[in-house]
Each structure stands twice: as structure tokens, then as C-alpha cells.
Amino acid sequence: MKNWWKESVVYQIYPRSFCDSNGDGIGDIGGIIKRLDYLKELGIDVIWLSPVYDSPNDDNGYDIRDYRKIMNEFGTMEEFDRLLAELHQRKIRLVMDLVVNHTSDEHSWFVESRKSKDNPYRDYYIWRDGKDGKEPNNWGSCFSGSAWNYDEETGQYYLHLFSKKQPDLNWDNKKVRTEVYDMMKWWLDKGIDGFRMDVISLISKEEGLPDGPAMINGYASFNVAANGPRVHEYLQEMNREVLSGYDIMTVGECSGVTLEEAAKYASSEGKELNMVFQFEHMDVDGDPDNKWTDKKMHLPDLKAVMTKWQKGLEGIAWNSLFWNNHDQPRVVSRFGSDCEEYRERSAKMLATCLHMMQGTPYVYQGEELGMTNVPFETIRDFRDLDSINAYHELTEKGIFTREEMMKYIRYKSRDNARTPMQWDTSAYAGFSESAPWIMVNPNYKRINAKEQMERETSVFHYYKKLIALRHKHDIIVYGSYELLLPDHPHIYAYIRTLGEQKLLVVCSFSSQTVTYSIPKEFESGTVMISNYETGERKCGELKPYEALVILQSSDLL
Ligand code: GLC
Ligand code: CA
């Protein structure tokens, strides 16, 4: 079935790092409003806004103190309303982040909950007695250490799968669910266009909270807590009580999701969500139990994962397509090349490879410029608690040396995505008039929006073309997907088919020239887009990081 959210391209804004309008070094809503014409120019349809709610910022807004208030640093509710109106005027939709697996420990529910065992809010969170003087089970927090925190006041532990300032809500309590649904309706009635649901696969915990396998750095709890026994029941209830009443878009962040589970979360019958974020392709360069490595991705592994999801959900559910978000290092540094010679080529190649697939593509701020990882020098340059905690924990336990750990966080830290958006060559990259809350990538004089908007051959213009192509051709949105050359170490090639139409997508992940012949049936086709000029391309080979999209017959263009 056709849907507007299948035909859309989403742009993710991480407000703290997007644009600062009042010179305090912190991005804000005023800053987003200032840059709306830039987004319109890029051609995106929907914005996913990372949390802007009142928060003590232990995890940059993913720890919410008040769901119905805007964070002071970001502005006021009046400014938010203005942002929404200005977006709608430009025909851009707004999807908000919904963070309801946990709240901040400063949320009034938790403040009450921790007061006494018989407080009416006690059961809003997950409290347990210790076991033999230790934590109730072996779950680790995703941000290092135990997932349990002992609370002196009542002598019990509360569960926090993330930081100890992010206590997990108890979804088995109907009152919690009702509070969440009321809050969602409150935002939807304001006119927002949907939700991206933070770690939504974790909301229903296994009965009895059994021990999980021991793993480095907390990832154990992900595997035990993900896709719990009642998660689908709760999402179906949410759908009945809230979502189904609005024409909106919903995407669930589903860490640890399998194909079978995704087919339930995002089933085309529409009982739960529209689509999920799965993360298997973000694990191809990690170890099974540990993301802190600088291992390089092996292309056949990436192809296998992407293909599994492309084919596995076709006609059953809907994929979301992403290389980047605020939790991932920059893709050009990760799967492409950030050396100046190949940065733009490889950024365009990666964009082609993803945007020609079936699903809804997400562009993370700065990706459309080919922004790169950051040359952080010392641990003091980092702001992200995940990276900082992991650095201390893993070096103190002697699992890695400091040098190793610095290398790993420099490569994998979420802060790589969180340095200020690079707008122009002025001080602080045009992001702010004063020193930002996190360092600016020193490459901003070379890599910035102003320069790229003025130059036709830039990564920005290339994204603009890809987005326009998707709007024009149904085959890009709805066509089926078939992988070619699964074992080729350098080439990612696939075919999309819709009715009589066929589209060939060929991407080289190599910095060398590789031999390649276009399948016969495409020889007389039309090149829809490429990151090389016609004269530069050569028959029988692919240039470094070449990307090529060919439509079989030209009369359909
Ligand atoms: C999600 C968010 C991440 C956050 C975590 C806890 O994974 O994307 O930024 O730290 O949930 O809310
Ligand atoms: Ca500001």
C-alpha cells in the first residue's frame, strides 16, 4: 500500500549541535528556525527532532524531567509552536522523539517513587530487593556498570538500563501506560506528525528479570530485555488508544530486533508502528559482545545484513534506511574514506547505495555535507557519558590500555556525530558566536554548508538530487530488491524492479579501480545519477568509490 511516510525522506536534527541563535554555545529552537530554508532547499519531507523536553541533560535530553515543557536552553513552548507552524508552512512534517522506556530521576514521578515503598508512584518504576547483599540480577547498564542502583531511602534497588539518572518505567503498570498515552495525545493534538520511539523494544521486561549472559560493557541487558513478552501487546494498545486516531508516522528504535520481531512491530497491517530502526548493519564492524574496537567492516557482511532486511521485510513490513544518527560515528569515516582525495566521492557513493534501497531514508545533520569523524585529542574533549564511562571502566578493569581505548572511542564515540553543524567558515563554523559546548571539527573551513550550497558538484547537491529522484520515481520507493555479486569484496550492486521497470545500482567501496561489466540488459539504459561525469567513467571498470544508477529504458524517465 502507498503511504506518504514511505515516500518521504527524513532529516534528523540533534538540537544541541544544529544552530545556536543566542550565543550561549548551545544549539536551540531559534537556531533551527533560522535554518529552515536550508532544509527546504535540500528537499527533505520530515524532520525527526531529538528531545527538546525539559531535562537535566545527563544524556543530552534523553533523560526527561517534564514531558510537557521545553528545555530552557532550547527555548520556550512559544518558540516550539512557531517552529511547528513554520515547518508546516514549508510543507515539512515534524516527528518528535518519544523517550518512555525511562524518565529522568528528576521527573516528579520518580521523585515521588523513591520516597517510600507505599508511595502511589512506587510502582511506576522497577524496584527490587537485593539478592545476597548484591544487585537483584547481573544486568549491566548500556552506559557501563550495573543496571541497578541502590537507594538508601528505602533500601531497595531500581533498574536503569541506561544511566542511573534514567530509571526504567514499569510498563506493566497500567497507570504508567495511561500517563504516556495522555502525554502523546497532548503533543499530537498540538499538530506534530509522529514519533520516533526511543529504545521502544526494551519496555517490557522478562518476567522475574532473569540473569543474562555476561558481556563487556552492559550489552547483556539489551539482549535479555529486548522484545520482551508484552511489548507487542503494549504497542497494539498504544496504537488503538492513540496512534490510530491520527495521520502520523511512527518509527521504533528497536535494538536487538530480529526479522520475525520487526515483522510484528512494523507489520503492514498497521497494528503497531510504521517502521523500525534495526541495528544489525551497525554491528558489522564490532565484536559480538563489544562495540569498542576499530575493526573494519568487510563488505560481504554488510551486503548480507542489508539484503536480509531488504528481502525479509518486503511486502510484510517497512524498513528505515540509515547510516548515521546521533549515536553513531560518521559513515564517511567508517564505511567510506575521509581522506580529502576520496571524501566527497565516497560520501556520495554511500548515499547512493542507501537511498536507492527500499524503505524510508534518514539523513543525519551534516551527513549531506560528508561531515567526518573528529580528531578528539584527549578524554577531556569528549562529552558523551557512554564514551567517558566506557573509557574509565574498561581501562580500570585492564581490558584495554588507555591508548587502545582512546583509539576506539575516537573511532566509535557518539560524539563524532555531535560536534556542531558546519555552516560556514566564520568562527565556530557559524554554529554559534561563542565557544560551543563541544569542540568544532577543525575541518570546518573545508567542509561547510555555505561552500557546498554554492558548488554544483558538492555532496549537498548530490543528496538534493537523490532526494528529488526518490520523489519522482516510484521504483525507488516501492521496487523490489535483488542483490548481485554477494561475495564480491569491493562492489555492492543490486537491482530494483517495479512492474516493467528495472533499476541497476552499482557502488564501489574501493579506493582502487576495480573491473566490472554492466549486465547486458542495462547496457543501453539511462544513467540516472552518478558521482563521476560521463566522460570520466570507463567501460569495464569502476573508478574509486564510483556509484552508478542505471534505469533500463529511457522512455520511462
Ligand atoms: C537511544 C538514544 C540514545 C540514548 C538512549 C537512552 O538509544 O538514541 O541517544 O542515549 O536511547 O535514552
Ligand atoms: Ca543557544
Where does the pLDDT of residue 40 fall: very low under 50, low under 70, confident under 90, or very high at 90 and above? very high
Q: What is the pLDDT of residues 231-256, one digit of tens each?
A: 999 999 999 999 999 999 999 999 88
Ligand 1 centroid from CA 529, angstroms: 35
Average pLDDT value for residue range 220-236: 87
Pocket probe mutation, ligand 1, options 52, 62, 65, 277, max atoms within 8 Å of Cβ: 62
> What pLDDT was estimated at residue 268?
87
Q: What is the pLDDT of residues 266-282, one digit of tens each?
A: 998 999 999 999 999 99
Where does the pLDDT of residue 215 fall: very low under 50, low under 70, confident under 90, or very high at 90 and above? low
Which residues are within 8 A (CB) of 189 and not within 5 positions of it... i.e. 6 or more apart? none
Q: Is ligand 1 within 6 A of the CB of residue 64?
A: no
Burial of 87 (C-beta count, 10 Å sphere; 0-12/13-18/19+): buried
Q: Are residues 406 and 308 in the same domain?
A: yes
Which ligand has the nearest atom to the CA of 72?
2
Q: Is ligand 1 within 6 A of the CB of residue 279?
A: no
Is residue 272 part of the annotated active site? The answer reads no
Q: What is the pLDDT of residues 341-362, one digit of tens each?
A: 999 999 999 999 999 999 999 9
Q: What is the pLDDT of residues 296-330, one digit of tens each?
A: 999 999 999 999 999 999 999 999 999 999 999 99
Q: Is ligand 1 within 6 A of the CB of residue 162?
A: yes
Q: What is the pLDDT of residues 507-553, one digit of tens each?
A: 999 999 999 999 999 999 999 999 999 999 889 999 999 999 999 97
Pocket probe mutation, ligand 1, options 52, 101, 195, 327, max atoms within 8 Å of Cβ: 327
Q: Are residues 356 and 397 in the same domain?
A: yes
Ligand 2 centroid from CA 32, angstroms: 10
Ligand 1 centroid from CA 198, angstroms: 6
Phi-psi domain of 414 (left: phi exceeds 0; alpha: psi -120 through 50; beta: other): alpha
Q: Residue 99 is placed in which grid cell? A: 523517550
> What pLDDT was estimated at residue 220?
53
Q: Is ligand 1 within 6 A of the CB of residue 385?
A: no
> What pLDDT was estimated at residue 288?
77
Ligand 2 centroid from CA 21, angstroms: 5
What residue owns the CA closest to ligand 1's atom 2?
A: 198
Pocket probe mutation, ligand 1, options 198, 200, 221, 254, max atoms within 8 Å of Cβ: 198
Which ligand has the nearest atom to the CA of 26?
2
Pocket probe mutation, ligand 1, options 59, 100, 200, max atoms within 8 Å of Cβ: 59
Q: Is residue 351 part of a domain?
A: yes
> In whole angstroms, how far apart are CA 538 and each of 407, 496, 516, 519, 552?
38, 23, 10, 15, 19
Domain span at residue 507?
479-556
Q: What is the pLDDT of residues 45-83, one digit of tens each?
A: 999 999 999 999 999 999 999 999 999 999 999 999 999
* Domain final residue, candidates 93, 125, 159: 159
Q: Are residues 411 and 523 in the same domain?
A: no
Q: Are residues 219 and 253 in the same domain?
A: yes
Q: Are residues 392 and 493 in the same domain?
A: no
Q: Are residues 417 and 488 in the same domain?
A: no
How many domains are contained in the chain? 3
> What pLDDT was estimated at residue 370?
98
Is residue 253 part of the annotated active site? The answer reads yes
Q: How many alpha carbons lie under 13 Å from residue 246 in its C-beta half-sphere?
A: 23
CB 220 within 8 Å of CB 209: no
CB 9 within 8 Å of CB 361: yes
What residue owns the CA closest to ligand 1's atom 12?
A: 62
User: Lowest mean pLDDT: which of 135-144, 456-465, 536-545?
Assistant: 135-144
Q: Are residues 244 and 361 in the same domain?
A: yes
pLDDT averaged over the chain? 96
Q: Are residues 118 and 90 in the same domain?
A: no
Q: Is ligand 1 within 6 A of the CB of residue 169?
A: no
Ligand 1 centroid from CA 59, angstroms: 8
Q: Is ligand 1 within 6 A of the CB of residue 198?
A: yes
> What pLDDT was estimated at residue 216?
52
Residue 28's CB is within 10 A of a number of other CB atoms, namely 25
Q: Residue 93 is placed in which grid cell? A: 512534517
Task: Give the Cα separation of 494 and 356 in Å (integer).
Answer: 9
Q: Is residue 251 part of a domain?
A: yes
Ligand 2 centroid from CA 543, angstroms: 44
Q: Is residue 472 part of a domain?
A: no
Percentage of the chain beyond pLDDT 90 is: 92
- 515-520: long-range contacts, CB 8 A cutoff, minimum separation 24: 515/540, 515/541, 515/542, 516/491, 516/540, 516/541, 516/542, 518/550, 519/484
Can you give the CATH number for the domain in which 512 is found? 2.60.40.1180
DSSP letter, residue 295: P
What residue owns the CA closest to ligand 1's atom 4?
A: 62
Ligand 1 centroid from CA 165, angstroms: 13
Q: Are residues 76 and 147 in the same domain?
A: no
> What pLDDT was estimated at residue 553?
78
Q: Is residue 402 part of a domain?
A: yes
Average pLDDT value for residue range 193-218: 87
> What pLDDT was estimated at residue 219?
55
**pLDDT at 84 exceeding the cut of 90:** yes
Q: Are residues 339 and 442 in the same domain?
A: yes
* Domain final residue, candidates 429, 462, 495: 462
Average pLDDT value for residue range 482-488: 98
Residue 233's CB is within 10 A of a number of other CB atoms, namely 12
Task: Give the Cα separation of 115 and 465 in Å (integer).
Answer: 56
Ligand 2 centroid from CA 322, angstroms: 28
Q: Which of 54, 168, 193, 253 is catalytic?
A: 253
Which residues are within 8 A (CB) of 133 and not within 5 positions of it... i.e. 6 or more apart? none
Q: Is residue 164 part of a domain?
A: no
Can you give the CATH number for the domain in which 253 is found? 3.20.20.80
Which ligand has the nearest atom to the CA of 143?
1
> pTM for this one?
0.97
* Domain final residue, candidates 159, 188, 221: 159
Q: Is residue 473 part of a domain?
A: no
Q: Are residues 146 and 174 in the same domain?
A: no
Q: Is residue 36 part of a domain?
A: yes
Q: Are residues 42 and 59 in the same domain?
A: yes
Q: Is residue 2 part of a domain?
A: no
> What pLDDT was estimated at residue 546?
98
φ/ψ (deg, to 5) at 496: -110, 140
Q: Is ligand 1 within 6 A of the CB of residue 437?
A: no
Q: Is ligand 1 within 6 A of the CB of residue 63?
A: no
**pLDDT at 557 exceeding the cut of 60:** no
Q: What is the pLDDT of residues 11-34, one digit of tens each?
A: 999 999 999 999 999 999 999 999
**pLDDT at 379 exceeding the cut of 70:** yes
Which ligand has the nearest atom to the CA of 434?
2
What is the maximal distance between C-alpha atoms in the chain? 76
Q: DSSP letters along 539-553, please?
A: TTEE-TT-EEEEES-
Q: Is ligand 1 within 6 A of the CB of residue 11?
A: no
Q: Which of 63, 105, 168, 198 is catalytic?
A: 198
